[in-house]
Chain A
Amino acid sequence: DAGVIQSPRHEVTEMGQEVTLRCKPISGHDYLFWYRQTMMRGLELLIYFNNNVPIDDSGMPEDRFSAKMPNASFSTLKIQPSEPRDSAVYFCASSLDPGQTETQYFGPGTRLLVL
């Protein structure tokens, strides 16, 4: 299995530009999570999906952030317009069943720098 795939791995953009991050979960996993990691705030959950449906987006920082999952094998996280404070590592993770006994598998992350 290829694991969780994320693209791009690195993104440098200028303030005000639109940024789209992409994720392909592990085949068969029904849950998909988007996290953001910074030195100051650590690893934070932004949003998660179950069977392509957004379940909890309470971690999405503001309206500039949006996420979609059009099918079971693809999700996007979009930032429009981007700001320097959005600079972080964004991880996608997937899980078969994140209940008590199932772990989440993380992708390699996208390192975003907004100038």
Chain B
Amino acid sequence: QKEVEQNSGPLSVPEGAIASLNCTYSDRGSQSFFWYRQYSGKSPELIMSIYSNGDKEDGRFTAQLNKASQYVSLLIRDSQPSDSATYLCAVNILGSNYKLTFGKGTLLTVNP
């Protein structure tokens, strides 16, 4: 069973702080990694993608990938109340015919 694990949270941070969200995956053949944000009652929307080891920055968001440790993370700098949402980690596994396997998500709350 190929799995993607996330801490369910809730993760609570004060406004302006750095929020760190973590994800581990079980299949070493995984090749593409995505972070989706889902506001309550809404659909998931892609905020970051990463394919190679290291860091990828986009505005206040940084995705980090370590394939040796089978670990991917998302850092949100200068957290805002509008960042409060559930963050879903998704993995595309080699040979899975484009299927994305999602973690159950981490609920982030940013307190003003």
Q: How far is the CA of A104 from the CA of B99 in the complex (A)?
A: 10
User: Which residues of the other chain, A, contact B100 by a CB distance below 8 angstroms?
Assistant: 45, 98, 104
Determine the chain B residues whose CB is within 8 A of the CB of A100 once the complex forms: 31-32, 51, 92
Which of A42, A55, A101 contacts B51 (CB under 8 A)? A101
How many Cβ-Cβ contacts under 8 Å join chain A to chain B?
A: 47
* Stretch of B21-29, B39-47, B66-74 that contacts chain A: B39-47
Q: Which residues of A contact B42 (CB under 8 A)?
A: 108
* Partner pick for B97 among A55, A103, A104, A107, CB 8 A cutoff: A55
The answer, yes or no, to whether B87 is at the interface (CB within 8 Å) is: no
Distance to closest chain B CB from A40 (angstroms): 9
Judged by a CB distance under 8 angstroms, whether A12 is at the interface is no
A103 touches B98 (CB 8 A): no
Q: Is the CB of A109 within 8 A of B97?
A: no
Chain B residues whose C-beta falls within 8 Å of the C-beta of A98 in the assembled complex: 92, 98, 100
Most buried by A among B32, B43, B101: B43
The interface residues of chain B lying within 8 Å CB-to-CB of A107 are: 43
B30: min CB distance to chain A, Å: 11
